[in-house]
Structures are given as structure tokens and as C-alpha cells.
Amino acid sequence: MSANDADADVPDEATESPPSEGERKKGVPRDPSRAVGGTALAEPKPPSFLATTGAKLLAALMAPLSELGALAKMLGQVFFWGLRPPYRGRIFIHCMEYVGVQSIFIVGITGFFVGAVLGLQLVNGFRDLGVESQTGSVVGFALSREIGPVFTALMVSSRAGSAMTTELGSMRVTNQIDALITMAVNPVQYLVVPRVVAGLFMVPILTIFFDVIGMTGAWLVCTKLLGLDSGVFLDRMRWIVDWKDVNLGLTKAAVFGVTVCLIACRQGFYAKGGAAGVGQATNRSVVHNAIAILLLDYLVTGIVLGEGLG
């Protein structure tokens, strides 16, 4: 029994209208079928402790799998509906603006300080080894291959991803997604595709931005505050960072971009349980994204470098 199966007999929140004031005042029982309809007449025996624990354990093990299945299904739908007309240019641009342009500030700020502190730490650590001249190379290497894409994706997840989940989730619980269907507009095509595509393009672009700002931050701290030679710093950086590193970074960024938006949309799209449910979905969206980013980071690195995967 997966978590989804367990939900099956609970009415879907999206279909079930909340008990209204009027209903309660009139004293109409919420669900008389339970009382008179002949369902569940005999009180079921409470299951044993062992059985419940076992079921819970199994559900906990199955949950990630069923979640992966749901994500795969949604990715398939995104492909299917993404390729079909109509193409809604305005919405794509709006989503790009939302994911990309509106994340510039937070990505810039974090990029600058991550670069700066990296420079500070490296110079301080390398000084003892007498290799502080290598700071530029390590900064460039780390930012372009690793820190840039991961940090950017985490920032986009917590800024744009969480907002996406909230938006789609509240659309779900207020029947707006159903309304789209009744107006013969496919909700995956209309809502999910443009967001995932925005992630695919904007996260790599933001990553480049993060790298540049981060390297600038490191360069400023190392040369202006810690007295490293600017020429050496830049020379080392140029020597070590080549296309391969940038490529690896951007590949990761693209993978993260799709993942972040897909997870965010999936959580919102299938949210249930009213406003509280949307809150939980947003929470899950950020947590799942953080896990997915770090997990995929290792996987993609392993695949591209061809080692480390056992």
C-alpha cells in the first residue's frame, strides 16, 4: 500500500466542497450515508500495533517511489503537451521573466557573498601551505563546476519554486484547474509546460550570472582586501577554467532547472486539503527540491566525469 492508495477512499479535496455555513446551520448531517446508507455499519476492529507499524514502514518506503513515478508521469505529459500547439508565447515570456529576471537580485547577492567568503577561506587556508596563488584557480573551478549551479538552483527553488507550488496549489483547491479543463484548456500545457521550460532556460543563464558575480566577489576580496596579486589570480583562473567545466556546470544547471520547476509544479498541481494543504505542498516542494538537487548533482557529475558511480 502506497501513500496514494491510502488516500483513495478519502474524498479528493478538490471535488469535495467544504461544509458551508448554511449547511451547518440547517443541521443537515454532513454525510448521512455513513449513518443510514448501509456503509460501514460494523465498527472495524482496530488493527494490531504490529500491523499498523508495518503498514507505516511500508508506506514510508514506498512514498519516494510513488513520488518518482508521479514525477516521471508529469515529465512525460510535459513533453507530450509541450510539443503540441498551441504555443502560448506570452505565457512563456511571463514565466521566463518570473523565474529568471525576478531571481537576478537574490542570485546576485548570494553569488557575491559565496564568492567572497570562498576567496577569504581559501587565501587563509592556502597561506599556511604557501599556495595562495592558486586561490584563483580553485575559486574558478569550484564556482563553475559545482557551487554555481547548485546554489542557483537552490535559490530558484526557494524563491520561484515555492511560489509556483503555492500558485498552482491554490488554483487546484479553488477549482481553477478544473475550470481550465471545463474550458477545454489542458492544464498541464497551460500551467506546467511554460514553467518547466522557463526553468530549463533560465537556471543555466542565472548560473552563468552567479559564476561571474561570484568570481568578481572572490577577486575583490582576494586582491583588494587580502593583497593577492590581481594578475596572478586571474591568470590562474583562466588557466584552470575551460569549456569543459563551464559545460558541466551548465548541464547541471539545465537538469536542476527542469527538476526544480517540475517538482514545484507537481506539488502544487496535485495539492489537496485547502489552504493548509497548499502550505504543506509548498513545504514539501522546497524540501524535495533540496534533496533532488544535491542527489542529481552527484549523479550528473558522476556521469559526465565517468567516475565515482562505483
Partner 1 sequence: MGVREWFDSFTGASADELRRVDPKILADPVHVRVRDVHKSYGPHHVLKGLSFDIARGKTNVIIGPSGSGKTVLMRQLIRLEKPDSGQILVNERDFVALDGMELDAMRRTMGMVFQMSALFDSMSVFENVAFPLREHTKMSQKEIRERVMDRLESLGIGHAWSKSPAELSGGMQKRVAVARSLVLETDILIYDEPTTGLDPITTCTVDELIAEAEEKFGVTSIVISHDMASVFRIADRITFMYFGEVQASGTPRELLESLNKPTMEFILASGVSRDLIDGRRND
Ligand X SMILES: Nc1ncnc2c1ncn2[C@@H]1O[C@H](COP(=O)(O)OP(=O)(O)OP(=O)(O)O)[C@@H](O)[C@H]1O
Minimum distance, C-beta of residue 275 to Mg ion, in the bound complex (Å): 19
Minimum distance, C-beta of residue 273 to ligand X, in the bound complex (Å): 13
Minimum distance, C-beta of residue 262 to ligand X, in the bound complex (Å): 25
Instruction: Tell me if 231 contacts partner 1 by CB under 8 A.
Output: no
Instruction: Tell me if 175 contacts partner 1 by CB under 8 A.
Output: yes
Closest CB to Mg ion among residues 11, 231: 11
Tell me which of 9, 43, 128, 307 binds partner 1, using CB under 8 A. 9
Closest CB to partner 1 among residues 11, 54: 11
Buried b (16+ CB within 10 A) or exposed e, 263-286: bbbbbbbbbbbeeebbebbbebbb
Closest CB to ligand X among residues 32, 306: 32
Tell me which of 1, 11, 73, 125 binds partner 1, using CB under 8 A. 11
Whether 211 contacts 143, CB under 8 Å: yes
Closest CB to partner 1 among residues 85, 306: 85
Minimum distance, C-beta of residue 39 to ligand X, in the bound complex (Å): 8
Site string for Mg ion, 1-20 (x = CB under 5 A): ----------------x---
Minimum distance, C-beta of residue 269 to ligand X, in the bound complex (Å): 16
Range 84-123, binding partner 1 (CB under 8 A) = 84-86
Instruction: Tell me if 280 contacts partner 1 by CB under 8 A.
Output: no
Closest CA to 270 of 259, 282, 260: 282
Site string for partner 1, 181-210 (x = CB under 8 A): xxxxx-------------------------
Stretch that binds partner 1, among 21-29, 140-148, 224-232, 249-257 (CB under 8 A): 21-29
Q: Residues interacting with ligand X, by CB under 6 A?
A: 11-12, 15-17, 31, 33
Instruction: Tell me if 125 contacts partner 1 by CB under 8 A.
Output: no
Which of ligand X, Mg ion, partner 1, none lies near 39, with the C-beta cut-off 5 to 8 A by kind?
A: partner 1
DSSP readout, the chain?
Answer: --HHHHHTTSPPTTTSPPPPHHHHHHT--S-HHHHHSSSS-SPPPPPPHHHHHHHHHHHHHHHHHHHHHHHHHHHHHHHHHHHSSPP-HHHHHHHHHHHTGGGHHHHHHHHHHHHHHHHHHHHHHHHHHT-GGGHHHHHHHHIIIIIHHHHHHHHHIIIIIHHHHHHHHHHHHTTHHHHHHHTT--HIIIIIHHHHHHHHHHHHHHHHHHHHHHHHHHHIIIIIIS---HHHHHHHHHHH--HHHHHHHHHHHHHHHHHHHHHHHHHHHT--SHHHHHHHHHHHHHHHHHHHHHHHHHHHHHHHHT-S--
Closest CB to Mg ion among residues 30, 224: 30
Whether 169 contacts 294, CB under 8 Å: no
Interface residues with partner 1 (CB under 8 A)? 8-9, 11, 15-17, 20-23, 26-37, 39, 84-86, 167, 170-171, 174-176, 178-179, 181-185
